[in-house]
Amino acid sequence: MINPPMKTSANGRALIEAYEGLILSAYDDATDRVVPAGGHVRGTLTIGYGHTSAAGLPRVYVGMAVTREEADAILSSDLAAVEADVNHHVTVPISQDVFDALVSFDFNVGALDRSSTLHLINTGNLAAGAQALMLWDHAGGRVNAGLEKRRAAERDLMLTGKWRGP
């Protein structure tokens, strides 16, 4: 556990916002299309910056819309839970940039606790931990270009303190 607990910086939040994108109406994350009333959802119903009902309140429903301010508040709430998870699982001192990259990864994948990235960082091998992020670039059994770019941005943030936008 990181002591004292860390919070996502403005730079880390910017990375998450850039890669999640902002959609103010409920959309299907499999297609990134707004779901009309009575429409079919193939993936997960999502709103704002990647918020799903699984992340907590508010529950996302077809036809739901939020303002930018509401989306920002929802993201802050969602990030608090992810920050707590990262703070709990990381057992070594890390920089703000490493923390931000881990929050972005866990926010997107939800699997920090099962990743080799976490194990490698906790054993002091930051470079290998950062490179292990690149193993998480698949969706539906195939390399996904968007995930590949996001993992590279998270890796770069960990190792250099800088990331390139999507």
Q: What is the 3-state secondary structure (H, E, C) of 106-152?
A: HHHHCCHHHCHHHHHHHCCCHHHHHHHHHHCCEECCEECHHHHHHHH
Q: Which of 17, 20, 83, 148 is catalytic?
A: 20
Which are the contacts of 136, defined by CB distance < 8 A and separation ≥ 6?
105, 109, 111, 115, 147, 151
- Residue 70 known to be catalytic: no
Q: Taking the mean position of all CA atoms in its chain, how far away is CA 25?
A: 19
**Interatomic CA distance for residues 149 and 102, integer angstroms:** 15
* Residues forming the active site: 20
